[in-house]
């Protein structure tokens, strides 16, 4: 029966922009400071205080908008969204309404359904319409836990009040929980990639809400929509949507009716529960913020921001596949973080063997990094050092198996491959100059054998090979020794 239904999902993401100070005052946005330490008359909402727009928030908002394929409007308007809540001392939030900072986005993501084991079935591109990305201020926080007399008092921390946010809203584009999952991951990575936001859901600087409804396949109108909140990770969001779709279909198939409401995900019991009915929905009475002029953004400014942006992750993934002949899976993994992609690209170029560099980064290096809890940026093995190791193997100076041990030692000691290979006596000497010197030494010390050989006793060839290898302490490349000996013994 479930196959008769279609799922419709729209997403709203709130991402905290990585400014040092708040959007309308100079207070710090630092996380974890003592409650209410970072406040002033503006963010406390004291009468007569006036907001001043933080230019950095505009720059980061522009980076976010461009990274997500949105069109930035040359003029946008800040508006007051009126509602009462204790963590909002002004009685309104400064947001944007009918003239947002940016709109009409088209973003291509890669998405795949997952099998029962959670493995992606088939990755394919999907175009997502992003309705808008607008700028607004965050509210403070009500605290209800871990403080004295919380049964009688509520505590309010206004450090977060006035922190700049980008709100990113999609059309009801998604037809499955995994599409929503892949989209949010795409947005997170893009925002981190361009430095617009830390986009860390656990820290709360990326928050996500899903509007979920179902309808019978073929129906033209949308079903009753339920808003899901309290989604503290992308995985929880995916599970909450799955749960909610099953719940809604169950209600409708048993002849019931759905109410438009907001539900919270509870990850301890893995289900959604009702928070409030939408019947009590607010009318926010939006009106233009009289204390701020319209925000005017020139084409020049937009171009300046665009030209300062790094190559975006999807473009880079495609380029890696073409330029370095990598598979989709390899190129995707190497582009999961910008520092990893930078690391790989440097190692690929320096090694002259991009395929081998990809294998070394993906398997050996990532395993060491994960064990040590480090990012590629903090790797004790530099990309140039990894490239040098790849070259040692390509040049047959050491074997691939020896290379793996060498990498582990490079990782723990910080020494380069050549030093470790030499210290361990792993070097295979293939340098003809050095081998020639060894041969000369052996020939000088073995004049009678040399005379016999040159007189026709070819069986002595093995004797010379043995002597040269011995003189090199077993490090000479036997093939090179053979070639050079044949040449030099002729006289």
Binding residues for Zn ion (CB under 5 A): 25, 27, 40, 42-43
Q: For residue 118, what are its two tokens? A: 């959670």
295: left (phi over 0), alpha (psi -120 to 50) or beta: beta
Phi, psi for 233 (deg, rounded to 5)? -155, 165
CB of 46 to Zn ion, least distance (A): 10
Residue whose CB is less far from Zn ion, 44 or 408: 44
Give the residue with the Cβ less far from Zn ion, 36 or 432: 36
Minimum CB separation of residue 41 from Zn ion in Å reads 7
Q: What strands, in cross-sheet order, belong to the sheet with 71-72?
A: 71-72, 102-111, 124-137, 164-170, 5-16, 206-216, 226-229, 261-266, 271-277
The packing angle between helices 313-323 and 338-351, to 10°, is 20
**Residue number with CB closer to Zn ion (40 or 418):** 40
How many other CB atoms are found less than 10 A from the CB of residue 13?
Answer: 26
CB closer to Zn ion, 36 vs 382: 36
Burial 453-477 (b: 16+ CB within 10 A, else e): beeeeeebeeebbebbbebbeebbb
CA distance 256 to 366: 51
Assigned token pair, 455: 């007189």
- Minimum CB separation from Zn ion for residue 28, in Å? 9
Least distance from Zn ion to the Cβ atom of residue 138, Å? 12
Instruction: Give the residue with the Cβ less far from Zn ion, 17 or 305.
Output: 17
Provide, rounded to whole angstroms, the least separation between the CB of residue 206 and Zn ion: 23
Closest distance to Zn ion from the beta carbon of 27 (Å): 3
Looking at the Cβ atoms of 42 and 358, the one nearer to Zn ion is 42
Of the pair 89, 172, the CB lying nearest Zn ion is at: 89
Q: Shortest approach of Zn ion to residue 237 CB, angstroms?
A: 32
226: three-class secondary structure by DSSP? strand
Residue with tokens 């584009």: 173
The DSSP bridge partners found for residue 21 are 28
Cβ atoms of 64 and 102 within 8 Å: the answer is no
Pair type for strands 124-137 and 141-143 = unpaired
In angstroms, give the least distance from the CB of 377 to Zn ion: 32
* Closer residue to Zn ion in complex, CB, 25/481: 25
13/25 with CB nearer Zn ion: 25
Handedness of CA 267, 335, 132, 85 (dihedral sign): positive
Cα–Cα distance list, 89 to 94, 254, 280 (Å) = 12, 45, 22
Least spacing, CB of residue 291 vs Zn ion, in Å: 14
Nearest residue to 97 via CA among 129, 132, 66, 67? 132
């Amino acid at each position: 029966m479930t196959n008769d239904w279609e799922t419709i999902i729209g997403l709203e993401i709130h991402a905290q922009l990585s400014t040092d100070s708040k959007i309308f005052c100079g207070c710090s946005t630092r996380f974890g400071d003592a409650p209410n330490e970072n406040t002033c008359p503006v963010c406390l909402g004291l009468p007569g205080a006036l907001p001043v727009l933080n230019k950095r928030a505009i720059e980061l908002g522009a980076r976010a908008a461009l990274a997500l394929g949105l069109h930035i409007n040359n003029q946008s308007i800040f508006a007051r969204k009126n509602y009462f809540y204790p963590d909002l001392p002004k009685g309104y939030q400064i947001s944007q309404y009918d003239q947002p900072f940016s709109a009409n986005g088209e973003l291509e993501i890669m998405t795949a359904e997952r099998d029962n084991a959670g493995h992606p079935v088939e990755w394919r591109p999907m175009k997502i319409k992003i309705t808008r990305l607008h700028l607004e201020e965050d509210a403070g926080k009500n605290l209800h836990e871990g403080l004295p007399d919380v049964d009688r008092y509520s505590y309010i921390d206004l450090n977060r009040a006035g922190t700049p946010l980008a709100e990113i809203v999609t059309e009801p584009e998604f037809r499955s929980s995994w599409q929503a999952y892949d989209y949010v991951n795409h947005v997170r990575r893009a925002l981190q990639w361009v430095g617009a936001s830390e986009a860390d859901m656990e820290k709360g600087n990326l928050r996500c809400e899903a509007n979920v409804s179902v309808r019978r396949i073929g129906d033209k109108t949308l079903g009753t929509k339920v808003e899901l909140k309290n989604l503290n990770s992308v995985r929880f969001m995916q599970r909450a949507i799955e749960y909610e779709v099953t719940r809604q279909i169950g209600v409708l198939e048993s002849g019931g009716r759905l109410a438009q409401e907001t539900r919270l995900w509870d990850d301890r019991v893995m289900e959604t529960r009702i928070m409030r009915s939408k019947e009590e929905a607010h009318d926010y009475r939006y009106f233009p913020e009289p204390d701020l002029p319209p925000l005017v953004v020139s084409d020049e400014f937009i171009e300046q921001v665009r030209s300062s942006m790094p190559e975006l992750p999807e473009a880079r993934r495609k380029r890696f596949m073409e330029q370095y002949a990598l598979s989709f899976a390899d190129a995707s993994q190497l582009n999961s973080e910008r520092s990893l992609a930078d690391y790989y690209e440097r190692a690929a170029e320096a090694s002259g063997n991009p395929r081998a560099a990809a294998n070394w980064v993906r398997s050996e290096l990532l395993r060491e990094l994960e064990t040590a809890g480090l990012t590629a940026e903090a790797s004790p093995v530099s990309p140039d050092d990894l490239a040098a190791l790849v070259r040692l193997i390509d040049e047959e100076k050491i074997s691939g198996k020896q290379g793996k041990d060498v990498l582990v030692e490079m990782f723990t000691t910080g020494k380069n491959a050549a030093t470790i290979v030499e210290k361990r006596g792993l070097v295979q000497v293939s340098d003809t100059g050095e081998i020639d010197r060894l041969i000369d030494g052996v020939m000088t010390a073995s004049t009678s054998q040399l005379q016999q050989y040159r007189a026709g006793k070819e069986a002595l060839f093995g004797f010379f090979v043995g002597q040269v290898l011995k003189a090199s302490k077993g490090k000479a490349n036997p093939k090179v020794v053979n070639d050079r000996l044949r040449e030099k013994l002729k006289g």
